[in-house]
Chains A and B, each alone.
Chain A
Amino acid sequence: MIRDFLGKIGNTTGFLLSGTARLGALFADVVRYFAGVLVRPRTLPRETFAYQLTTMGLESVGIISLVGASVGAVLALQAAYSLKDFGALNYTGSLVCVAMARELGPLIAAIVICGRIGARIAAELGSMQVQEEVDALTTMAIHPVRFLVLPRVMALMIMLPCLTIIADWMGMVGGYLVGRFALGINPEVYIANSIRALVLKDIYTGLMKSEIFSILIALVSCHQGLSVSGGSDAVGKATTQAVVISIVLIIVVDCLATAVIYYAL
């Protein structure tokens, strides 16, 4: 019984370490090819990069706006519930703005993109693996990391912070609408308090986190997709794992990053 339990712990630890090592190796490859792109821009597959920018960014604006606004509205309602006891209802705007910029904007955008884009990347690369498209690249002397992974990582690194800004902004709008129409806060006071509370650091630390999340989502999803072997069931499994692993990593890394930012910056 104890032996089984210890065995399971050992297996899980081994699995985590080997997974981390593989992700690290993939990241090292991406960095190497990125350096190559800086020296010779022609080595970036531009069509794929442009396509990924569009699908990851433009097509996600609607859902990010909706979720951001909803979270901002809920946050305003929940904050008001406690703040009114202290006669601080007018500070609802401050709380919503700071919480959206520092925490909820980056987190919500990352989780939505993880479900929408991470799953898509894993399924797409997994299917390419099953249909021998990845082998076809290899036989053409084209490295799959440069051709498939690099444009996706770069596109997500550009697009997730942009989407985070949209989520931040829409969350603030959602909070404002609730503050004004449901809580009856004076709009000028709401806006003035929000602007006073929000400092540049709140925004750039949020964007820094979002940049880290983008790398995590893209790497995990690409890794899961390229690790597919077998048939369509393996693609489904890889897709689920990409989303689950990415979300867990996002939350763990968010916790660590928030602690570092709180104490060090």
Chain B
Amino acid sequence: MDSIIEVRDLVKKFDGRAVLNGVNVGIPRGKITVIMGGSGCGKSTFLRHLIGLHQPTSGDILFEGKNIAKMDRNGMDGVRRSFGMMFQGSALFNSMTVGENVAVPLREHTPLDESTIKIIVKIKLELVGLTGFEHFYPHQISGGMKKRVALARAIALDPKIVFYDEPGAGLDPITASMIDQLILDLSRKLNMTSVVVTHEMKSAFRIADQVIMLHKGKVLEVGSAQQIQNSSNAYVRQFIEGEPEGVIPFKQTSEAYLQGLLDS
């Protein structure tokens, strides 16, 4: 399978503690890859490496063959124009209207005039189902709408790959499923690669072409949604079924918790 991103032996240590400990995985082009794992397993750290917000302690991250792990700021800025990112908290600029938020990458990276930018902003907002919301400020719209605006901003420059950090976090199930549908629609319509970090099972299995299961900073399992659902791995089973008892015990002492971190 053609990988748009190839991760090789990725290690990230904070204060000597490995949060990512030798991750090897590929992100297939044009597909939706979901990165799953429990809290603290390193999935957000992994995502931040993919978009160049963290530098790895060792290892390589190849984006279309270019190693972004060793790139300088200018090189990385060039690559980032192919990226779109939707943050967990939306990360909209509160002093700007919805339209201005979506226009930011267009104003910064294209020579387009204002009238053209306005048209593109309208089109992007229409794509995420927010027609006519250009003049609203972020504090005037709901959490679900903010996520949609963040998505419209992420796809403003028609990126090759869009990253989503917990797209359904803090949303009611109906709004979360709408966001999932948007991810599916945009990936199919615009033929974009999507990388979604989540720990919500329903959402993950609804949208995923490929699932990467992370545990203690390592890739525990990679496969299609179907393969992961049928996994025989005890941790994966406990995670999918959301059981309080299993490989990860319900009651943990602080020593056991710390030992678990050290093991990773």
Stretch at the interface among A1-9, A136-144, A160-168: A136-144
Q: Is the CB of B77 within 8 A of A139?
A: no
A-B pairs with CB below 8 Å: how many?
A: 51
Q: Is the CB of B95 within 8 A of A139?
A: no
Closest to A148 in B: B93
Chain B residues in 8 Å Cβ range of A136: 85, 87, 91, 93
Closest to B103 in A: A47
Q: Is the CB of A47 within 8 A of B83?
A: no
- What is the 8 Å Cβ interface bit string for chain B, positions 56-85, against chain A (1 contact, 0 not)? 000000000000000001001110110101
The number of chain A residues with a CB under 8 A from chain B is 16
Q: Is the CB of A141 within 8 A of B85?
A: no
A141 touching B87 in the complex, CB below 8 Å, given contacts A47-B100, A51-B95 = no
Chain A CB within 8 A of B255 CB:
no
CA distance A47 to B53 in the complex (A): 26
Q: Is the CB of A139 within 8 A of B104?
A: no
Chain A residues in 8 Å Cβ range of B87: 132, 135-136
Q: Which residues of B179-233 have CB atoms within 8 Å of chain A's CB atoms?
A: none
CA distance A51 to B92 in the complex (A): 17
- What is the 8 Å Cβ interface bit string for chain A, positions 111-134, against chain B (1 contact, 0 not)? 000000000000000001001110
CB distance from A40 to the nearest CB of B (A): 11
Chain A CB within 8 A of B26 CB:
no
Chain A CB within 8 A of B123 CB:
no
Q: Is the CB of A139 within 8 A of B51?
A: yes
Q: Is the CB of A132 within 8 A of B77?
A: no
Chain A residues in 8 Å Cβ range of B95: 48, 51
Q: Is the CB of A141 within 8 A of B78?
A: yes
Closest to B101 in A: A136
Chain A CB within 8 A of B130 CB:
no
CA distance A140 to B105 in the complex (A): 6
The number of chain B residues with a CB under 8 A from chain A is 26
CA distance A232 to B78 in the complex (A): 33
CA distance A198 to B105 in the complex (A): 51
Chain A CB within 8 A of B251 CB:
no
Chain A residues in 8 Å Cβ range of B108: 140-142, 147
Chain A CB within 8 A of B261 CB:
no
CB distance from B33 to the nearest CB of A (A): 18
Closest to A128 in B: B93
Closest to B107 in A: A45
Q: Is the CB of A141 within 8 A of B80?
A: yes
Contact of B104 among A51, A128, A135, A142 (CB under 8 A): A142
CB distance from B163 to the nearest CB of A (A): 8
Q: Is the CB of A141 within 8 A of B93?
A: no
Chain A residues in 8 Å Cβ range of B81: 141
CA distance A51 to B51 in the complex (A): 31
Closest to B95 in A: A51
Closest to B77 in A: A141
CA distance A140 to B77 in the complex (A): 8
Chain B residues in 8 Å Cβ range of A51: 95
Closest to B96 in A: A47
Q: Is the CB of B83 within 8 A of A132?
A: no
CA distance A132 to B85 in the complex (A): 11
Q: Which of A131, A132, A135, A139 has the most CB of B within 10 A?
A: A139
Contact of A131 among B53, B78, B89, B96 (CB under 8 A): B89
Closest to B157 in A: A140
Chain A residues in 8 Å Cβ range of B94: 133
* Nearest 5 pairs of A and B residues by beta carbon: A136-B91, A141-B77, A141-B80, A139-B85, A132-B91
- Apart from A133-B94, A141-B77, list 10 A-B contacts with CB within 8 A: A132-B89, A133-B93, A135-B91, A138-B53, A140-B104, A141-B76, A141-B80, A141-B81, A141-B108, A142-B105
